[in-house]
């Protein structure tokens, strides 16, 4: 198989890789904020339960979570396995990354001085206005480097979808490598991921500079 044909075949799975990436971000970023707020709840039971869930999600392999979400319903409840494996893949990725984003959000929120909340209260801001107009913009600016790091990791983690035989780019490359007994497909996949991460890093870097309004 020529290099051109190999690249064309693997590029067919690139769209699925991008689907995992963008859908995971779409769901995990807001879900992570919700989990962070539950983790910081003054209700001790809610806080402890959320902390336990985060610990499980961060303490077990993403690969295991992919298998659990994809095949768990069948073994536990005898439900049929989803024909569209993108659905369980995105669910597993979104839940896993929400746990990481939640801790990043929590760190950012807790880094804001208490005096800002008090000043906002004196000025007549409601708790919602204080959070969304004063606290959240500062949190986003502070946590952006950490969020960028997780997003870069996500690009590479999309390759784990091969665990449940979802035909994304790495899975196709792996199949070609096995059939051709060649390491070249893995090199091509590595180049794809490197370029993808380069685009992500450039975009996030531009956003970070845009938010660096004190310089």
15-52 residue pLDDT tens:
999 999 999 999 999 999 999 999 999 999 999 999 99
The pLDDT of 182-202, averaged and rounded, is 91
Mean predicted confidence (pLDDT) in 65-71: 93
C-alpha distance from residue 199 to each of 64, 152, 192, 196, 205 (Å): 29, 10, 11, 5, 10
Q: How confident is the model at residue 179 (pLDDT cuts 50, 70, 90)?
A: confident
pLDDT of residue 198: 93
Percent of the residues in the chain that have a pLDDT greater than 90, as a whole number: 52
Q: Is 80 helix (H, G, I), strand (E, B) or coil?
A: coil
Residue predicted with more confidence, 102 or 138: 102
> H helices of the chain, where?
3-39, 44-59, 62-77, 86-110, 114-122, 127-129, 136-157, 169-180, 184-211
Q: Looking at the predicted structure, is the pLDDT value of residue 214 above 70?
A: no
Q: Under a CB-based contact definition with an 8 Å cutoff, are residues 33 and 105 in contact? A: yes
Per-residue pLDDT at 59: 94
Cα–Cα distances (Å) from 121 to 82, 113, 134, 136, 168, in that order, read 50, 14, 11, 16, 50
The per-residue pLDDT for 9 is 84
């Amino acid at each position: 198989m020529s290099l051109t044909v190999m690249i064309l075949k693997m590029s067919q799975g690139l769209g699925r890789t991008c689907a995992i990436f963008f859908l995971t971000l779409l769901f995990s970023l807001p879900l992570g904020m919700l989990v962070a707020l539950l983790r910081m709840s003054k209700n001790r039971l809610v806080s402890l339960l959320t902390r336990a869930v985060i610990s499980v999600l961060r303490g077990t392999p993403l690969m295991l979570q992919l298998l659990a979400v994809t095949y768990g319903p069948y073994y536990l409840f005898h439900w049929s396995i989803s024909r569209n494996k993108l659905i369980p893949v995105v669910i597993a990725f979104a839940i896993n990354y929400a746990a990481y984003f939640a801790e990043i959000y929590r760190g950012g929120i807790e880094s804001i001085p208490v005096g800002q909340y008090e000043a906002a209260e004196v000025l007549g801001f409601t708790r919602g206005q204080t959070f969304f107009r004063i606290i959240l913009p500062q949190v986003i600016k502070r946590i952006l480097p950490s969020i960028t790091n997780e997003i870069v990791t996500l690009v590479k983690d999309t390759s784990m979808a091969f665990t449940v035989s979802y035909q994304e780019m790495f899975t196709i490359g792996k199949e070609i490598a096995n059939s051709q007994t060649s390491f070249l497909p893995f090199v091509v996949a590595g180049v794809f991921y490197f370029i993808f991460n380069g685009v992500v890093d450039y975009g996030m870097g531009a956003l970070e500079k845009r938010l660096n309004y004190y310089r």
